[in-house]
Amino acid sequence: MVTIIFKHPDGEETRVDSPVGETVMRVAVEAGIPGIVGDCGGNLSCATCHCYVDPAWGSSLPNMSADEETMLESALDVTLESRLSCQIVVTAELEGIRLMIPESSL
């Protein structure tokens, strides 16, 4: 199990344990994290799984695909830390990763 920390816009945090190989979007939806909806089920068609990756972890993630970059344009308040969480696959290296939920997603 890998611990993933979701940081809510009000500063509170929720820690969720996830098996390796799961996507962060599915972990969040399963745990009922407000602001991560995953409407399209991970098909890069909705941008309702937008999150900010703590910069300390950014380099542990594979780069964005062109399709993810395109879909991210449909999210709000996109920054350099933005990712679509359905494209982040949980690996052992991500233990303790912190992901911020955008205020605009609530």
Partner 1 sequence: MMTAIDEADPRTPSHVPRELVVDGFDIFNLEVPDADPPLVWREIKLANPPIFWTNENGGHWVATDAADIKVIQVDHEHFSMAQHNIPKNRRGMPAPPIDLDPPKHFGYRALISPAFSPKALAALEGTIQQVLDGLIDRVAPRGECEFVEDVAHVLPINVFLGMMGLPKEDAAYLLPLSTLNTQAKELEVSQRTRAEMADYLKDKIEARKAHPTDDVLSQVVHGKVNGEPLPDDELLGMCTLLLAGGLDTVASMMGFIFRFLATHPAHLAELVADPDLIPQATEEFFRRCGIANTGRILVEDYEFHGVQLKAGDLIQIPNCLYGIDETVVDNPLEVDFHRKKPIPYASFGNGPHSCPGKALARLEVRLLLRSWLSRIPEFTVKPGTVPQARIGMTNSMRELWLSWR
Least distance (Å) between residue 33 CB and partner 1: 7
Least distance (Å) between residue 80 CB and ligand FES: 19
Least distance (Å) between residue 19 CB and ligand FES: 19
Interface positions, 15-74, toward ligand FES (CB under 6 A): 25, 38-40, 42-49, 71
* Dihedral, CA of residue 98, residue 78, residue 40 and residue 1, to nearest 10: -10
Find, among 89, 106, 96, the residue nearest to 36 by Cα. Answer: 106
Interface positions, 41-70, toward partner 1 (CB under 8 A): 41, 43, 45-48, 50
The answer to whether 101 contacts ligand FES (rule: CB under 6 A) is no
The answer to whether 75 contacts partner 1 (rule: CB under 8 A) is yes
C-alpha distances in angstroms, 5 versus 13, 32, 64, 97?
7, 13, 21, 6
Find, among 7, 21, 14, 3, the residue nearest to 81 by Cα. Answer: 7
